[in-house]
Amino acid sequence: MGRSYCEGCGRTLGGFDLVPIISFFALNRRCKRCKNPISWQYPIVEALTGFIFAVSFWRFVSDGNFNLIYLLFILFISSILIIVSAVDFKFSLIPTSLVFGASLAVLLFDYFSKNSQDFVGFTAAAFLLAAFFGIIVFLTRGKGMGEGDIILAFLIGMVLGLRDGILAVFLAFLIGATFALCLIFTGKKRFGQTIPFAPFLVLGFWISLLFANPIINYYLMLY
Protein backbone atom coordinates (compact mmCIF):
# COMPACT_ATOMS: atom_id res chain seq x y z
CA MET A 1 0.00 0.00 0.00
CA GLY A 2 3.00 2.33 0.40
CA ARG A 3 3.55 5.15 2.84
CA SER A 4 0.92 7.64 3.94
CA TYR A 5 0.54 10.69 1.72
CA CYS A 6 -1.51 13.87 1.37
CA GLU A 7 -4.62 13.30 -0.71
CA GLY A 8 -4.35 16.85 -2.06
CA CYS A 9 -0.78 17.07 -3.38
CA GLY A 10 0.54 13.53 -2.98
CA ARG A 11 3.35 14.53 -0.60
CA THR A 12 4.69 11.62 1.44
CA LEU A 13 4.00 12.25 5.11
CA GLY A 14 6.86 12.26 7.59
CA GLY A 15 6.94 11.06 11.17
CA PHE A 16 5.90 14.43 12.60
CA ASP A 17 2.84 14.44 10.32
CA LEU A 18 1.63 11.11 11.69
CA VAL A 19 1.63 11.61 15.46
CA PRO A 20 -1.94 10.65 16.49
CA ILE A 21 -4.18 13.64 17.22
CA ILE A 22 -1.24 15.96 18.01
CA SER A 23 -0.17 16.34 14.37
CA PHE A 24 -3.70 17.22 13.29
CA PHE A 25 -3.77 20.29 15.53
CA ALA A 26 -0.05 21.11 15.25
CA LEU A 27 -0.46 21.40 11.48
CA ASN A 28 -3.56 23.56 11.97
CA ARG A 29 -5.61 20.87 10.23
CA ARG A 30 -3.89 21.44 6.87
CA CYS A 31 -1.13 19.92 4.75
CA LYS A 32 2.20 21.71 5.17
CA ARG A 33 2.75 21.97 1.41
CA CYS A 34 -0.58 22.47 -0.34
CA LYS A 35 -2.63 23.64 2.67
CA ASN A 36 -5.32 21.13 1.74
CA PRO A 37 -7.69 20.61 4.72
CA ILE A 38 -7.20 17.37 6.66
CA SER A 39 -10.40 15.49 7.41
CA TRP A 40 -11.65 15.37 10.99
CA GLN A 41 -12.09 11.62 10.56
CA TYR A 42 -8.41 11.06 11.31
CA PRO A 43 -8.28 12.50 14.86
CA ILE A 44 -11.72 11.07 15.59
CA VAL A 45 -10.63 7.54 14.62
CA GLU A 46 -7.34 7.97 16.49
CA ALA A 47 -9.09 9.18 19.66
CA LEU A 48 -11.68 6.42 19.40
CA THR A 49 -8.94 3.81 19.02
CA GLY A 50 -7.13 5.07 22.10
CA PHE A 51 -10.37 5.14 24.08
CA ILE A 52 -11.30 1.59 23.09
CA PHE A 53 -7.83 0.30 23.92
CA ALA A 54 -7.91 2.00 27.34
CA VAL A 55 -11.41 0.75 28.18
CA SER A 56 -10.54 -2.78 27.04
CA PHE A 57 -7.43 -2.79 29.21
CA TRP A 58 -9.40 -1.49 32.20
CA ARG A 59 -12.22 -3.98 31.70
CA PHE A 60 -10.05 -7.08 31.43
CA VAL A 61 -7.73 -6.04 34.26
CA SER A 62 -10.52 -5.06 36.66
CA ASP A 63 -12.38 -8.38 36.37
CA GLY A 64 -9.55 -10.10 38.26
CA ASN A 65 -8.89 -12.64 35.52
CA PHE A 66 -6.28 -10.82 33.44
CA ASN A 67 -4.86 -12.65 30.42
CA LEU A 68 -2.28 -10.72 28.40
CA ILE A 69 -2.59 -12.95 25.32
CA TYR A 70 -6.36 -12.55 25.25
CA LEU A 71 -6.06 -8.78 25.71
CA LEU A 72 -3.63 -8.53 22.79
CA PHE A 73 -6.00 -10.67 20.73
CA ILE A 74 -8.92 -8.33 21.53
CA LEU A 75 -6.86 -5.24 20.70
CA PHE A 76 -5.90 -6.81 17.36
CA ILE A 77 -9.54 -7.56 16.51
CA SER A 78 -10.56 -4.08 17.70
CA SER A 79 -8.01 -2.50 15.35
CA ILE A 80 -9.41 -4.49 12.43
CA LEU A 81 -12.98 -3.50 13.30
CA ILE A 82 -12.05 0.18 13.58
CA ILE A 83 -10.65 0.07 10.06
CA VAL A 84 -13.73 -1.77 8.78
CA SER A 85 -16.05 0.78 10.41
CA ALA A 86 -14.13 3.77 9.03
CA VAL A 87 -14.05 2.35 5.49
CA ASP A 88 -17.75 1.43 5.53
CA PHE A 89 -18.70 4.83 6.97
CA LYS A 90 -16.75 6.69 4.28
CA PHE A 91 -17.29 4.48 1.23
CA SER A 92 -20.30 2.29 2.19
CA LEU A 93 -18.08 -0.69 1.51
CA ILE A 94 -16.77 -3.38 3.86
CA PRO A 95 -13.19 -4.54 3.07
CA THR A 96 -14.10 -8.22 2.97
CA SER A 97 -10.53 -9.46 2.49
CA LEU A 98 -9.57 -7.83 5.78
CA VAL A 99 -12.56 -9.37 7.56
CA PHE A 100 -11.80 -12.78 6.02
CA GLY A 101 -8.23 -12.56 7.31
CA ALA A 102 -9.38 -11.56 10.79
CA SER A 103 -11.94 -14.39 10.81
CA LEU A 104 -9.22 -16.90 9.96
CA ALA A 105 -7.04 -15.49 12.76
CA VAL A 106 -9.90 -15.80 15.25
CA LEU A 107 -10.65 -19.33 14.05
CA LEU A 108 -7.06 -20.36 14.75
CA PHE A 109 -7.01 -18.53 18.08
CA ASP A 110 -10.21 -20.25 19.21
CA TYR A 111 -8.93 -23.63 18.05
CA PHE A 112 -5.78 -23.41 20.15
CA SER A 113 -7.20 -21.54 23.16
CA LYS A 114 -10.57 -23.25 23.74
CA ASN A 115 -11.62 -26.79 24.50
CA SER A 116 -13.31 -28.74 21.72
CA GLN A 117 -16.84 -28.11 23.01
CA ASP A 118 -16.38 -24.35 23.24
CA PHE A 119 -14.67 -24.23 19.86
CA VAL A 120 -17.61 -26.00 18.21
CA GLY A 121 -20.03 -23.69 20.02
CA PHE A 122 -18.29 -20.49 18.94
CA THR A 123 -17.93 -21.75 15.36
CA ALA A 124 -21.63 -22.67 15.25
CA ALA A 125 -22.49 -19.21 16.61
CA ALA A 126 -20.49 -17.62 13.79
CA PHE A 127 -22.35 -19.60 11.12
CA LEU A 128 -25.73 -18.89 12.73
CA LEU A 129 -25.17 -15.14 12.85
CA ALA A 130 -23.85 -15.18 9.30
CA ALA A 131 -26.90 -17.19 8.19
CA PHE A 132 -29.21 -14.66 9.83
CA PHE A 133 -27.67 -11.82 7.83
CA GLY A 134 -27.58 -14.01 4.74
CA ILE A 135 -31.34 -14.46 4.99
CA ILE A 136 -31.81 -10.69 5.25
CA VAL A 137 -29.60 -10.14 2.19
CA PHE A 138 -31.53 -12.79 0.26
CA LEU A 139 -34.99 -11.52 1.20
CA THR A 140 -34.14 -7.89 0.46
CA ARG A 141 -32.02 -8.75 -2.60
CA GLY A 142 -29.10 -6.89 -1.11
CA LYS A 143 -31.03 -3.67 -0.55
CA GLY A 144 -31.55 -4.10 3.20
CA MET A 145 -28.08 -5.40 3.98
CA GLY A 146 -24.80 -5.92 2.13
CA GLU A 147 -22.95 -9.20 1.68
CA GLY A 148 -20.02 -7.78 3.63
CA ASP A 149 -22.22 -7.70 6.74
CA ILE A 150 -22.55 -11.50 6.50
CA ILE A 151 -18.80 -11.95 6.84
CA LEU A 152 -18.61 -9.36 9.60
CA ALA A 153 -21.37 -11.17 11.52
CA PHE A 154 -19.36 -14.40 11.18
CA LEU A 155 -16.33 -12.69 12.72
CA ILE A 156 -18.41 -11.32 15.59
CA GLY A 157 -19.85 -14.76 16.28
CA MET A 158 -16.38 -16.31 16.36
CA VAL A 159 -15.22 -13.78 18.96
CA LEU A 160 -18.32 -13.50 21.16
CA GLY A 161 -20.15 -16.79 20.87
CA LEU A 162 -23.91 -17.16 20.46
CA ARG A 163 -25.31 -15.39 23.54
CA ASP A 164 -23.10 -12.31 23.41
CA GLY A 165 -23.21 -12.33 19.61
CA ILE A 166 -27.00 -12.13 19.62
CA LEU A 167 -26.80 -9.24 22.07
CA ALA A 168 -24.30 -7.46 19.79
CA VAL A 169 -26.60 -7.84 16.79
CA PHE A 170 -29.64 -6.70 18.77
CA LEU A 171 -27.79 -3.60 19.99
CA ALA A 172 -26.57 -2.91 16.44
CA PHE A 173 -30.12 -2.91 15.06
CA LEU A 174 -31.43 -0.87 18.01
CA ILE A 175 -28.73 1.82 17.77
CA GLY A 176 -28.80 1.80 13.97
CA ALA A 177 -32.58 2.23 13.84
CA THR A 178 -32.44 5.07 16.36
CA PHE A 179 -29.71 6.82 14.37
CA ALA A 180 -31.62 6.34 11.10
CA LEU A 181 -34.79 7.81 12.59
CA CYS A 182 -32.83 10.85 13.80
CA LEU A 183 -31.48 11.36 10.29
CA ILE A 184 -34.99 11.08 8.81
CA PHE A 185 -36.52 13.51 11.30
CA THR A 186 -33.76 16.04 10.64
CA GLY A 187 -34.25 15.71 6.89
CA LYS A 188 -30.79 14.29 6.17
CA LYS A 189 -32.19 10.96 5.00
CA ARG A 190 -35.44 9.71 3.49
CA PHE A 191 -37.27 6.44 4.06
CA GLY A 192 -35.76 3.80 1.78
CA GLN A 193 -32.27 5.26 1.80
CA THR A 194 -29.55 3.10 3.31
CA ILE A 195 -26.83 3.89 5.83
CA PRO A 196 -23.61 1.96 6.48
CA PHE A 197 -24.38 -0.77 9.01
CA ALA A 198 -20.88 -1.99 9.89
CA PRO A 199 -20.23 0.86 12.39
CA PHE A 200 -23.34 -0.16 14.33
CA LEU A 201 -22.39 -3.83 14.24
CA VAL A 202 -18.95 -2.95 15.56
CA LEU A 203 -20.43 -0.70 18.26
CA GLY A 204 -22.76 -3.52 19.30
CA PHE A 205 -19.77 -5.85 19.35
CA TRP A 206 -17.77 -3.64 21.73
CA ILE A 207 -20.69 -3.04 24.08
CA SER A 208 -21.43 -6.75 24.22
CA LEU A 209 -17.76 -7.68 24.59
CA LEU A 210 -17.22 -5.36 27.55
CA PHE A 211 -20.61 -5.27 29.25
CA ALA A 212 -22.65 -8.31 28.15
CA ASN A 213 -22.97 -9.82 31.62
CA PRO A 214 -24.31 -6.71 33.43
CA ILE A 215 -26.65 -5.92 30.52
CA ILE A 216 -28.09 -9.43 30.39
CA ASN A 217 -28.32 -9.71 34.18
CA TYR A 218 -30.17 -6.37 34.35
CA TYR A 219 -32.56 -7.53 31.62
CA LEU A 220 -33.29 -10.77 33.48
CA MET A 221 -33.92 -8.86 36.70
CA LEU A 222 -36.72 -6.96 34.97
CA TYR A 223 -38.55 -10.24 34.43
Residue 197 forms part of a structural domain: yes
The Cα 66–Cα 137 span in angstroms is 39
Dihedral, CA of residue 86, residue 151, residue 170 and residue 129, to nearest 10: -170
CA 178, distance to chain mean position in Å, is: 18
**Which of the four pLDDT bands, split at 50, 70 and 90, describes residue 23?**
confident
Residue 44 forms part of a structural domain: no
pLDDT of residue 16 exceeding 80, the answer is no
Please check whether residues 170 and 217 belong to one and the same domain.
Answer: yes
Are the CB atoms for 159 and 77 separated by under 8 Å?
A: yes
pLDDT digits (tens, 9 = 90+) for 132-173: 999 999 988 877 788 899 999 999 999 999 999 999 999 999
Q: What average pLDDT does the segment 88-97 reach?
A: 88
Residue 133 forms part of a structural domain: yes
**Which of the four pLDDT bands, split at 50, 70 and 90, describes residue 2?**
low
Task: Determine how many CB atoms are found less than 10 A away from the CB of residue 208.
Answer: 26
Q: Per the structure, how many domains does the chain have?
A: 2
* Domain extent at residue 23: 1-38
Residue 43 forms part of a structural domain: no
Nearest-5° Cα angle at 195, 97 to 100: 15
pLDDT digits (tens, 9 = 90+) for 52-87: 889 888 888 887 777 889 899 999 999 999 999 999
DSSP 3-state percent helix, strand, coil across the chain (nearest 5) = 70, 0, 25
Please check whether residues 88 and 115 belong to one and the same domain.
Answer: yes
pLDDT of residue 112 exceeding 90, the answer is yes
Please check whether residues 33 and 53 belong to one and the same domain.
Answer: no
**Which of the four pLDDT bands, split at 50, 70 and 90, describes residue 114?**
very high
Task: Determine how many CB atoms are found less than 10 A away from the CB of residue 151.
Answer: 22
Please check whether residues 127 and 204 belong to one and the same domain.
Answer: yes
**Which of the four pLDDT bands, split at 50, 70 and 90, describes residue 192?**
low
pLDDT of residue 1 exceeding 60, the answer is no
Q: What is the pTM of this model?
A: 0.87
